[in-house]
């Protein structure tokens, strides 16, 4: 069975599990817990090891039928060439860096990235990879940073927590021109709101823990190859993976080095939970984006608030790009209070938002940024990332907008 490409997003995704053939008529993909996969004839086992058998399994560290079904579902969402899933988003990001870069290579990364990704950039520098971070909202800054040994440019579609949007098209054109691999972390937007392939990304990162899983009950990550990057131009592909169509080389190396060797494998149980969560991606993104926009507009008009960061507000520096390219603004918004001393009291007065880190749960989460997730980064890094001491980050959940607005009204009274 195949689903036509012209069907809408959710129609395709809710049927994706069945495309690989349903066992016993099960309409959802079963959870395969076997670690070992055996074969009738030893030649069949050899074919799996040598990569000549399509889709064969051997040892679950490299994948199971359940993780493969999730991979197929994400490939369908991104309309990509293929996907590998990992135990977490960070495991996927580390696999990209550690399997595709080596000492002496140069990486250009956004100065507005997820805090833990920023921490990994420091580790890479210690391992001998040259790292330059730039303000990616202008592609000219990326162009100025490129060197003959630049292998990769890494950006996030909507940066956390400041919601900056890179010059995604300009950077894409630049990478294509220079043969540089363009990696886009699309976690906050998700493939429903934005497909990074439309701006020329070669690899797309999704933390499945966030938008795609969306229920706050399982960790996971995915790397999707869009099929746009010509791997025959990439110098760091090992000889063993320079076999067959060059379109498959990057993912082959990522699976063997990143999954088989480094072991950041997603369990079948988690893959099943994430695959079910993925079926409601569009519904949740529509809902949380509408609520986040209503809150952003209301907060921007409130006298106690100094600034609101949300892509769908006309005051956002990249609003024109967001309006043109994003279906909606997503669940992430941040704001700054006029009186920084009110930052913690306001968080405490709010009844509905849960004071917790994390993103894209069913429930609204709130956190003061400088005191927590960007504490270790220190004031200098916070300044370059545009993080004010009074910045509060919100991950908007599925609650009714009017209930959240009423709660903010009481919490901000007197702030
Ligand atoms: C959360 C997050 C990650 C890491 O994902 P985990 O699944 O938590 O490891 C990476 N990038 C972005 C933009 C994130 O928000």
For the domain that residue 123 is a member of, what is the CATH number?
3.40.640.10
Measure the CA–CA gap between 373 and 277, rounded to whole angstroms: 26
Same structural domain, 385 and 256? no
Of 251, 278, 305, which residue is a domain's last? 278
Query: pLDDT 10s per residue in the chain (415 long)?
Result: 455 667 899 999 998 887 777 788 888 889 999 999 999 999 999 998 888 887 789 999 999 999 999 999 999 999 999 999 999 999 999 999 999 999 999 999 999 999 899 999 999 999 999 999 999 999 999 999 999 999 999 999 999 999 999 999 999 999 999 999 999 999 999 999 999 999 999 999 999 999 999 999 999 999 999 999 999 999 999 999 998 899 999 999 999 999 999 999 999 999 999 999 999 999 999 999 999 999 999 999 999 999 999 999 999 999 999 999 999 999 999 999 999 999 999 999 999 999 999 999 999 999 999 999 989 888 998 888 888 999 999 999 999 999 999 999 999 998 8
**Based on the domain organization, do 116 and 235 belong to the same domain?**
yes
The string of DSSP codes covering 54-103 is TT--SBGGG--HHHHHHHHHHHHHHT-SEEEEESSHHHHHHHHHHHH--T
Residues 389, 327, single domain; the answer is yes
- Check if the beta carbon of residue 186 is closer than 8 Å to that of residue 204: yes
Q: What is the pTM of this model?
A: 0.96
β partners of residue 225: 82, 203
Q: How far is the CA of 187 from the centre of ligand 1 (A)?
A: 7
> Which domain covers residue 74, as residue numbers?
62-278
User: Of 112, 121, 210, 361, which is best to mutate to test ligand 1, by the most ligand atoms within 8 angstroms of its C-beta?
Assistant: 210
**CB of 88 closer than 6 A to ligand 1?**
yes
* Binding site membership of 186 for ligand 1 (Cβ less than 6 Å): no
In a domain, 362, yes or no: yes
CA of residue 185 to ligand 1 center, whole Å: 9
Nearest Cα residue to 92 out of 261, 254, 210: 254
Residues 354 and 295 in one domain: yes
Residues 204 and 72 sit within 8 Å (Cβ to Cβ): no
Residues 352 and 407: their CA atoms lie apart, in Å, by: 7
Q: What does the block give as tokens for 61?
A: 């560290």
- Is 382 domain-assigned? yes
What region, left, alpha or beta, does residue 273 occupy, with left being phi > 0 and alpha being psi -120 to 50 degrees?
alpha
Same domain, 257 and 331: no
Q: In this structure, are 204 and 351 located in the same domain? A: no
| Nearest 10 degrees: Cα torsion 312, 318, 321, 323 | 10
Q: What is the 3-state secondary structure (H, E, C) of 232-276?
A: HHCCCCCHHHCCCCHHHHHHHHHHHHHHHHCCCCCCHHHHHHHHH
d(CA 1, CA 19): 6
Look at residue 3 in the predicted model and tell me its pLDDT: 58
Q: CATH no. for residue 363?
A: 3.90.1150.10
Query: Which residue puts its alpha carbon closest to atom 1 of ligand 1?
Result: 207
| 93 Cα nearest atom in ligand 1 | 10
Nearest residue (CA) to ligand 1, atom 2: 207
| Whether the bond into 161 is cis, omega within 30 of 0 | yes
Mutate to test the pocket of ligand 1, among 116, 121, 166 (most ligand atoms within 8 A of CB): 116
- Total structural domains in the chain? 2
For ligand 1, say whether the CB of 267 is within 6 Å of any of its atoms.
no
Residue 33 placed within a domain: no
Mark whether 266 and 287 lie in a shared domain.
no
Which amino acid residue places its CA nearest to atom 5 of ligand 1?
89
The answer to whether position 16 is within a domain reads no
Q: Is residue 163 part of a domain?
A: yes
Residue 138 Cα, ligand 1 centroid: separation in angstroms? 24
Mark whether 274 and 286 lie in a shared domain.
Answer: no
Using CA positions, which residue lies closest to atom 8 of ligand 1? Answer: 89
Same structural domain for residues 232 and 362? no
> So what's the pLDDT on residue 1?
47
**359 ligand 1 Cβ < 6 A:** yes
- Say if residue 359 is in the same domain as residue 230: no
The residue out of 278, 296, 317 marking a domain boundary is 278
CA-to-CA distance for 304 and 182, rounded, in angstroms? 40
Query: If you search the block for the tokens 């890494």, which residue do you land on?
Result: 154
Please check whether residues 287 and 264 belong to one and the same domain: no
Lookup: tokens for 110: 């956004």
385 located within any domain: yes
250 shares its domain with 104: yes
Amino acid 24: pLDDT: 86
- Domain stop point among 246, 278, 310: 278
Q: Is residue 12 part of a domain?
A: no
Kindly state whether residue 19 falls inside one of the protein's structural domains.
no
């Amino acid at each position: 069975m195949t689903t036509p490409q012209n069907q809408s997003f959710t129609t395709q995704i809710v049927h994706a599990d069945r495309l690989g053939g349903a066992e016993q008529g099960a309409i959802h993909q079963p959870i395969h817990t076997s670690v070992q996969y055996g074969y009738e004839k030893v030649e069949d086992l050899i074919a799996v090891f040598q990569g000549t058998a399509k889709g064969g399994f051997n040892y679950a560290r490299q994948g199971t039928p359940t993780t493969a079904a999730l991979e197929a579902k994400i490939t369908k969402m991104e309309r990509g060439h293929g996907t590998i899933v990992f135990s977490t988003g960070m495991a996927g990001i580390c696999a990209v860096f550690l399997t595709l870069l080596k000492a002496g290579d140069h990486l250009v990364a956004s100065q507005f990235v997820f805090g833990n990704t920023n921490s990994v950039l420091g580790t890479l520098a210690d391992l001998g990879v040259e790292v330059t971070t730039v303000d990616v909202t202008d592609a000219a800054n990326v162009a100025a940073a490129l060197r003959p040994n630049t292998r990769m440019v890494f950006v996030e579609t909507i940066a956390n927590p400041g919601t900056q949007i890179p010059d995604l098209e300009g950077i894409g054109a630049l990478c294509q021109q220079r043969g540089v691999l363009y990696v886009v972390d699309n976690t906050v937007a998700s493939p429903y709101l934005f497909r990074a392939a439309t701006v020329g990304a070669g690899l797309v990162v999704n933390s499945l823990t966030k938008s795609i899983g969306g229920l706050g009950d399982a960790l996971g990550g995915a790397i999707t190859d869009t099929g746009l990057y010509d791997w025959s131009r990439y110098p760091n592909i090992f000889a063993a993976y320079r076999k067959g169509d060059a379109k498959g080389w990057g993912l082959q190396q990522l699976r063997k080095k990143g999954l088989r060797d480094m072991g950041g494998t997603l369990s079948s149980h988690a893959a099943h939970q994430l695959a079910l969560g993925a079926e409601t991606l569009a519904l949740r993104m529509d809902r949380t984006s509408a609520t986040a926009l209503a809150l952003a507009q209301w907060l921007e008009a409130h006298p106690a608030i100094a600034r609101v960061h949300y892509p769908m507000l006309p005051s956002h520096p990249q609003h024109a790009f967001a309006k043109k390219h994003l279906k909606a603004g997503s669940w992430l918004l941040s704001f700054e209070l006029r009186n920084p001393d009110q930052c913690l009291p306001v968080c405490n007065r709010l009844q509905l938002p849960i004071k917790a880190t994390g993103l894209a749960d069913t429930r609204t989460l709130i956190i003061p940024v400088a005191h927590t997730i960007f504490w270790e980064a220190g004031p200098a890094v916070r300044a370059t990332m545009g993080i004010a001491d009074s910045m509060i980050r919100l991950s908007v959940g599925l609650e009714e907008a009017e209930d959240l607005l009423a709660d903010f009204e009481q919490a901000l009274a007197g702030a």
